[in-house]
Amino acid sequence: MTTTTPEGGLTVTGSAVEGADEVLTAEALAFVERLEREFGPRRRELMERRIEVQRSISVGNPVAFPEETRTIREGDWKVGPVPKDLEDRRVEITGPVERKMMINALNSGARIFMADFEDALSPTWSNLLQGQANLTDAVERKIWLSTAEKTYRLSEKTATLVVRPRGWHLEEKHVRLDGRPVSAALFDFGLAFFRNAKRLLDRGTGPYFYLPKLEGRLEARLWNDVFVFAQEQLGLPHGTIKATVLIETILGALEMEEILYELREHVVALNAGRWDYLFSAIKKFRDRPGFLLPDRAQLTMTVPFMRAYTERMVHVCHKRGAHAIGGMAAFIPSRKDVEINERAFRKVTEDKERESEDGFDGTWVAHPDLVPVAQVVFDRKLGGRPHQKNRLREDVEVTPLELTDFRVPGGRLTEAGLRNDVSVGLQYVESWLRGSGAVGIFDLMEDTATAEIARSQVWQWIHSPLGKLEDGRKVTVELFRKTADEEEAKLRTQLGDEAWGRGKWAAARRLFDRLATADEYVDFLTIPAYEELE
């Protein structure tokens, strides 16, 4: 298919997708075009700024709370009002904009469902367009699915819908303006907002969004300006859009208050994005002598730098009147294995008890069966209150040094940790290349963030002189490839030759190998991987 807007500047190419004409209407594409013309150049400038900031960090310049924004941090201000259906966020569930998973998530009993175009979705052209159609069907309560086993329909009471577009760093190759790919974030947001904002308002809710991967206040300011422009274009009141920002980068953590300030008329909450945060730490500080993170399993939320990050989030959010939403419980309960279930429920309960005691107002889960587990914990803490923003955590005073002191007491590099990174990374990338971005691996629901930290750890262990396993072996390219060969052989045996042959294993191995062994670190796995998608 090839489509151009009436002005002739925007060109859409891609394979034919059922229902695409209803999504890519001339009016919707014209709206995306206006967004890209207005904000595309600024987005590209900000991506260039990321490169400059990385150079500064790599040569050893300190990172700190910005001196030029001290008045914001010391000022007396609050974020804007929170809509009624975003007041109680004690349990949120996340998942891709895939029909069955959306229905199950909306019916799960969670207060919020984050419909994901980002880390949990492989952005094939078909997935993106069908996802937009699914969103509108969900808003209009027309979404349903019939399979040989079951018919899926919405319950009477459903979770509040919040949409996560892709990040500023990504481009949509199927849509070009004057020959240049448009921003994936503006494409996802533009279609979702244009198609659904008034529908949502008519139903007593609103256009709500999750914003990923922000690296500071200027990127938040860009989103705020996009919101103002979009609302004006559709004739909606200022502040109609409400956003939750994922703090999943180390630079974002240093500017939490500034991000809230820039979005203050539109923002309602911050969220702790765990795995992406760890991925960001490796990416930004990879060239610092002496910096090395141990096995992923040892990077829990209780290690000092992660405690500093989450406690600062609660303090900052409540000081400014925003919700603080805790991190993901990625366990997948088993309806066949009682032992797996008991272990998952125990770990989730411990994690959510820590979050609720720290002052978080809600939390994330990845599976409907975990909603009641998390809810019991937050019900016990909140009772009939919608949140605990009255807990100001004035005892918390986190410094930039505490956020960037990545030492992990007792941290070790083990062969088991290396094997887990390699196996999980390969399995996830193979699934993503086949078009599935939410993947159950080793009883956990994994998304792109998992693959990012897995390949980043392997890269770091190979390239750092400190990258030695506890038995004394240096992690080298040769050791990595030998390990990958062995893990591939295990997976092939488990799957069988026929299923293996239908997969994208060779492409996944090539990509993982390229990213793990390259002399220069590649900032995002999804950028080269995206070139292999249709």
pLDDT at 337: 81
Q: How high is the mean pLDDT of the chain?
A: 96
pLDDT for 170 beyond 90: yes
* Domains of the chain listed by start with CATH number: 2-76+83-400 (3.20.20.360), 412-530 (1.20.1220.12)
pLDDT at 331: 85
Please state the rounded mean pLDDT for residues 152-177. 98
pLDDT for 1 beyond 70: no
Please state the rounded mean pLDDT for residues 284-305. 94
Helix 99-106, helix 125-139: angle, nearest 10 = 30
Q: How far apart are the first and last CA of the chain?
A: 13
pLDDT at 445: 85
In the chain, pLDDT over 70 holds for what percent of residues? 99
pLDDT for 108 beyond 90: yes
Beta strand 242-247 with 151-153 is unpaired
pLDDT for 2 beyond 70: no
pLDDT at 143: 97
pLDDT for 7 beyond 60: no
- Residue 302: how many other CB atoms lie within 10 Å: 11
pLDDT at 6: 54
User: Residue 469 and residue 455: Cα distance in Å, rounded?
Assistant: 17
Nearest to 45 by CA among 234, 218, 241: 218
| Helix count and strand count (H, E) for the chain | 20, 16
pLDDT for 258 beyond 70: yes
Please state the rounded mean pLDDT for residues 20-45. 97
Nearest to 398 by CA among 465, 337, 462, 316: 316
Nearest to 112 by CA among 140, 134, 83: 83
Degrees to nearest 5, angle at CA 191 with 188 and 194: 140
pLDDT for 8 beyond 80: no
pLDDT class of 497 with cuts at 50, 70, 90: very high
pLDDT for 293 beyond 60: yes
Q: DSSP letter string over 235-264?
A: TPPTT--EEEEEE-SHHHHHTHHHHHHHTT
Q: Any residues with CB less than 8 A from the CB of 255 and at least 6 apart, and which?
A: 65, 66, 69, 216, 217
Count of all residues that appear for the chain in the document: 534
Catalytic positions: 164, 447
Q: What is the pLDDT of residues 426-476, one digit of tens each?
A: 999 999 999 999 999 888 888 999 999 999 999 999 999 999 999 999 999
pLDDT at 335: 74
Q: What is the pLDDT of residues 305-358, one digit of tens each?
A: 999 999 999 999 999 999 999 999 888 887 778 888 888 899 999 999 999 999
User: φ, ψ for residue 258 (rounded to 5)?
Assistant: -65, -35
Helix 184-202, helix 217-234: angle, nearest 10 = 50
Q: What is the pLDDT of residues 357-394, one digit of tens each?
A: 999 999 999 999 999 999 999 999 999 999 999 999 99
User: Residue 105 and residue 102: Cα distance in Å, rounded?
Assistant: 5
pLDDT for 4 beyond 80: no
Q: Any residues with CB less than 8 A from the CB of 419 and at least 6 apart, and which?
A: 483, 486, 487
